[in-house]
Amino acid sequence: MKRSVLQHLCDILDTDNTWETIAPYMSGIAMRDVEACKRYGNYNQSPSMLLLRIWCSKGFTVVHLYQLFAKTKLIRLMRVMKSEVDEKYHYLEEKVLNPARRLRPIVPPAGTQQTASRLKKIDSKDMTSTPTQSITTSSTNDPLRVAIEGTLPVTYQELSEATKGFSVNNVIGKGGYGTVYKGEIRATGGMVAVKRIFAGNDNSTQQGSKAEKERLRQSLTELRTLARFRHDNILPIYAYSLEGPEPCLVYQFMANGSLEDRLLCRKGTTPLTWVQRKEISIGAARGIHFLHSFAKTPLIHGDVKTANILLDKHMEPKLGDFGLCRDGQAEVEATEKRPLIASHIKGTLAYLAPEFITSKILTTKLDVYSYGIVLLEIASGQRAYSESRETRGLVDFCQLNKELARRQKIPLREILIDRKAPALANEFEEQFWDTLLEIGLAGVCVDRKLRPTMAQVVECLCKNTTPTIP
């Protein structure tokens, strides 16, 4: 490639760090390569120039770069380097402008497909209950391949070093299928969260095999989901590793822990203010609404709860833990005669809607119900389920206290408000508390058709109003 053309490409890619948007789609480029390019840029050098040199050293050619720009729809860059590729590839520009027809695949050099083959082997018929609608790429329609090409690979050894050998001192969370560790990437000093999926350790071989497949299925579901959906209120995934004894997923480190942690004031943290609670409520609702509305087929999270709403250093909420999510139906598409039945979701019982517990009916209203309980927790400071309460379930607890307040003719917030939180400062905050509770109670209505949609929830939280359900 002519030096002048290469320099022109790098000038464009360096602007606003555009090169970072193509790096995840470059086979063979690992997290350490991206970090090296960032450090290179800190010395007033061109990070994209280094990135292209690294990619070239792995056997990729000018044609591969042209195909990459086609795949990422960077028409301007395709035109800059058009003279450097054979005319037989010029059709790609038309294909990008006319996406109805598919592009030919980018064929990487030999040896770069090992990770893809490993993942495809894991993604067997035993784990077919993952989301079915995938993004169409230039290389394949396999949703797993999409996840690989959109997410950076990292070695198990690097993650072990980042977490000090997966030290118990670095544990920041545990779940049914994995442990989350705080880690530090030495090259940059950047903090990350590393989820390590448990290796099989069950009592019998049969049980162990079944559990191992379920763990792998969940990790692959989460990997492909987070690669498929990008939103300000969805936890971003940075990298993955499947080459070690346990699969690992690497996420943005969330400095303020989970919403559950902050509502319970764990580790001596200060109670959330009502302004913070409002912003967190709206942000989390937007993340769920995005899942329900982004694609033609809504994606149902299946495990919405305060423990899965994570808070970054700015208290911005991010919806996490997508191991249970499924393609499903919007409630308007669901009928009593032909509801979508899902037997694989095993969400937290206290947050599961009654129609799912009894009949495994899966619609977007499952997430609405779960989020309704989250709002009740934010308003009351009570847990979704507590052995120490006479009325253990939070839904029943709130409804009983609502009836008590009605009989005693006193404001419900005098009974139910979170006593740990700062006092309501003004009429606006009082109205917001009322809104939280009313939307929460509407969301947990036994009849799913009477629950609001997530679009209505977002609108009502923003406007401080209660939903009107037809």
What pLDDT does 221 receive?
67
- How far apart are the C-alpha atoms of 408 and 413, rounded to whole Å? 13
- How far apart are the C-alpha atoms of 466 and 401, rounded to whole Å? 19
pLDDT of 99-126, one tens digit each?
A: 554 444 444 444 334 434 444 444 444 3
- Identify whether the C-beta of residue 27 lies closer than 8 Å to the C-beta of residue 110: no
What pLDDT does 241 receive?
85
pLDDT of 329-382, one tens digit each?
A: 666 444 444 445 444 444 578 999 999 999 888 899 999 999 999 999 999 999
- How far apart are the C-alpha atoms of 252 and 237, rounded to whole Å? 7
- How far apart are the C-alpha atoms of 322 and 54, rounded to whole Å? 33
Confidence class of residue 448 from pLDDT cuts 50, 70 and 90? very high
What pLDDT does 343 receive?
42
Q: Is the pLDDT of residue 75 over 90?
A: no
- Identify whether the C-beta of residue 75 lies closer than 8 Å to the C-beta of residue 96: yes
What pLDDT does 433 receive?
96
Find the mean pLDDT for residues 439-458: 96
Q: Is the pLDDT of residue 416 over 70?
A: yes
Between 28 and 116, the higher pLDDT residue: 28
**In one letter, which amino acid is 277?**
R
Confidence class of residue 214 from pLDDT cuts 50, 70 and 90? low
What residues act catalytically?
Answer: 303
pLDDT of 43-67, one tens digit each?
A: 888 999 999 999 888 888 898 999 8
What pLDDT does 123 receive?
47
Q: Is the pLDDT of residue 316 over 90?
A: yes
- How far apart are the C-alpha atoms of 173 and 195, rounded to whole Å? 9
Between 128 and 253, the higher pLDDT residue: 253
Q: What is the pTM of this model?
A: 0.67
What pLDDT does 263 receive?
97
164 assigned binding-site residue: no
What pLDDT does 125 receive?
41
